[in-house]
Amino acid sequence: MSPVDIKAILSTLTLEEKVTLLAGKDLWETIPIPSKGVPAVKLSDGPNGARGAAFTGGTTAACFPAASLMACTFDTTLAKRIGAALAEEVHSKGARCLLAPTMCLHRHPLGGRNFESFSEDPFLTGKMAARVVEGLQDSGVAATIKHFAVNEQETDRLTVDETVGERALRELYLRPFEIAVKEAKPWAVMTAYNMVNGVHADSHPFTLKQVLRGEWRWDGLVMSDWGGVNSTAESLDAGLDLEMPGPTRWRKYEDVIAAIKEGKITEQTIDERATRVLQFLERLKCFEDDTIPAEQAIDKPEHRALIREAGSKGIVLLKNEDQVLPLSKDKVKGKKIALLGHAKIGLAHGGGSASLNAHYKVTPWDAMHAALGDSVEFSYAKGAHTFRTLPPIPAENVVGLDGSAGYTYKLYEPGSSEAYETKHGHADSDVNVLSSFGFSHKNVTLEGTFTPKETATYYFTCSGLGPSKLTIDDKVIYEQTDNCGDAMGFLFGGAPAPEIKVPLEAGKPYKMLIFTSPPAPKNASEEEDLGILAGRVGLRIGHMSEAEHDFDLLSEAVEVAKAADIAVIFTGHEPFWETEGEDQRSFNLPKDGSQDRLIAAVTAVNPKTIVVNSTGVAVAMPWLGQVQGLVQSWFAGQECGNAIADVLTGAQTPEGHLSCTFPKKLEDCPAHGNFPGEYVDGKLKVTYEEGVFIGYRHFDRLSADKVNFPFGFGLSYTTFNYSDLEVKESGDNFAVSVKVANTGSVVGAIAVQVYVGSTQTAEENPIKQLAAFTKVTVKPGETATVEIPVSARDFSFFDVAAQKWVVKEGDYKFMIGKSVTDIVAESTVAVKQQSFGL
């Protein structure tokens, strides 16, 4: 087919048609103009799988490991393979663009979306993300690197103003994007919700015009985060090509025309934005084939194998006292093993955009049975309550107004007592926020007769996005008179509500009426602050019997552990505890210390206790000295149970290395006191006072006892030795060579980490920084020679005054580390003065 003439197509479009191209049609598709031959394209979330159109439920999809785990592999080849597999999943959902990878940094352990991003280190983040981009785009699927830029927290994410100096901005927060842009040339960039130095990211001239388009010479499509546009003229002028989702809020034709007449933008600006959209469609071959196929659930065996491989290779062995691991068949034959905590839950992913309806989730319970079979005797106890909100009342206990199972669902115009739409058979007592995208600014009621199955006292909760109320037999049980204090937290499963006790009798019918309304604006600007949630409704009614709610799970687990030879406790964050939309509430595992108490109680009765922790972030470990084994398993995707079992049993030798520092206390973290910020005149502001010293750059300057486990740390079931380090100058760059010997008894892989730092470190500079890495697999008794190129640009600092990247003349230490603190070889090299342009 002949090349598409974008200029010719543009010339046929009216100004109004050009403007319509600059915002989405709906949640996931762009607007086509069939009469002019302009097709639409479908986009899809998210970072660890192509979810498809439905936010909840919907077509099943392959769930890949989260980025925080992927970074722990230090394996760029594996990252590219994951990208290629994700591309196949995108095509199966009828889409051609994936909203991934997420590549913001782990500035603070409480960051709600850290799990979705790779690392605290910009170099590791950039290199891993670039390979994911290549894997996607080599298969014809657009990658969308996000969120550009400085999106390191979720608290008040739509409006928070983040103040960061240019050096830190360049060296840390823009650096991963720069690496991905220059090495992999992503076809799309998504802007962040937040403000950067007083300007919203979607209309930021410095990041979008000067840096992205100018200095980096990038030519792709800039799209907004969903509901992340905050202006008409300013966002268009700064270079935001596509407002998502649709229909538009900010780019109505009359508003754009008004901006042109007022001289805020020109028709040439509209032509430039429309051209980018057309070029994007061309890159995705939409002009050649404008179909948007129906979504399919294709569960590929090769995807299963890849997810299991990646999951196991990213798991990090943190402690292995007395070689309690691996639990190989010959070692544990005839033993009793207690599997406790989250053993029967597959913690495959975090919450929000990274959640999806996985084809399946393998639990550790099932995987350990499959791995060890009848050679051991397993027992189980949950041991800790971890629910965050009470479960909804299911339809099976409720009869609607028409006599059928389920609730009667009614829609009302505000102020009206007459429903304009009635539906029967609503499945449970919740109103999903995301379902309200089909209407706007409406009130909703759920009505039905609830018949309890047992006489008991029940806990009830009622929480809504806007004012809401629960009544039973015309008695108000709870009324929320104000808007939800955390709208984004509510959207993704957080925002718990007060628990109200109500005694009910078995077999007795109770009339239930549940009401909810959209958030009520307190001032003229509040609706805009809610973004895509403006005018929507959301409601959660929960209930649980007092006996179930207050059951003593801990004592049961202690008895089970006492009777076992080995206790394995599975801890972690379910998706509603670690999610997009809100930051972590606590450094300790939820709920209210219940998992910490479980570990403490079990170690008191069973000295052979192993903890397997599934979180996307570092957590407090007050029990660290009492456990024999500790495994950080992150969110390993749909094969999470098998990946964990492979490491626990020795089928996979651990080879993961931490992609972030695990501090002992929050108070020692670099952003402590500046996360999530302070309110000034009602608006959240946060200052990045730590500058370039985040993660290990900060902890390098403190005593080692501030850290439980350093960046880059990871144990193995084998041992490695390094020798013969050589560093040779090669033009402006360097060639590092080192021999790695496997001195143990099993095959294993290790990340060879190269850190570089000046021997005369200035107070304003980090002591060292990761400048190169590679992964090497070595058989027992063998030695591999590893050669790694190191670019001077990758250990340079940004000189704000000179507006250049600079390496000052002097002696530099090139260090090989098993982690950032465990340096096993180093060589001092005289480096000449170098500078690099933008």
Q: How many whole angstroms separate alpha carbon 458 and alpha carbon 441?
A: 33
681 with 523: CB under 8 angstroms?
A: no
Got the DSSP string for 133-145? HHHHHTTT-EEEE
| H-run or E-run covering 787 | strand 783-791
Are 639 and 362 within 8 A, CB to CB?
yes
CA end-to-end span of the chain: 38
DSSP track, 249-318: SS--HHHHHHHHHTTSS-HHHHHHHHHHHHHHHHHTTTTT----PPP-----HHHHHHHHHHHHHH-EEE
Local structure of 530: helix, strand or coil: coil
Catalytic residue among 75, 156, 202, 225: 225
Decide if 374 is catalytic. Answer: no
Q: Which of 463, 442, 467, 583 lies closest to 522, judged by CA?
A: 467
Instruction: Point out which residues pair with 415 in neighbouring strands.
Output: none
Residue 314 CA to residue 302 CA, distance in Å, equals 18
Backbone phi, psi, residue 722, to 5°: -110, 145
Residues near 222 by beta carbon (within 8 Å), at least 6 away in sequence? 188, 189, 190, 191, 208, 212, 239, 240, 241, 242, 276
Q: Is residue 614 helix, strand or coil?
A: strand
- Torsion angle in degrees (nearest 10) through CA of 677, 678, 680, 682: 90
CA angle 788, 790, 796 (to 5 degrees): 160
Nearest by Cα to 46 from 95, 80, 5 = 95
Nearest Cα residue to 516 out of 579, 557, 466, 582: 466
**Around Cβ 659, how many Cβ atoms within 10 Å?**
29
DSSP for 444-504, please give it.
Answer: EEEEEEE--SS-EEEEEEEEESSSEEEEETTEEEEEE-S--S-HHHHHTT------EEEEE
Q: State the angle between helix axes of 364-372 and 640-649 in degrees (0 to 180), rounded to the nearest 10.
A: 40
Residue type, 411: L
- Give the residue numbers annotated as catalytic, written as ranges: 225
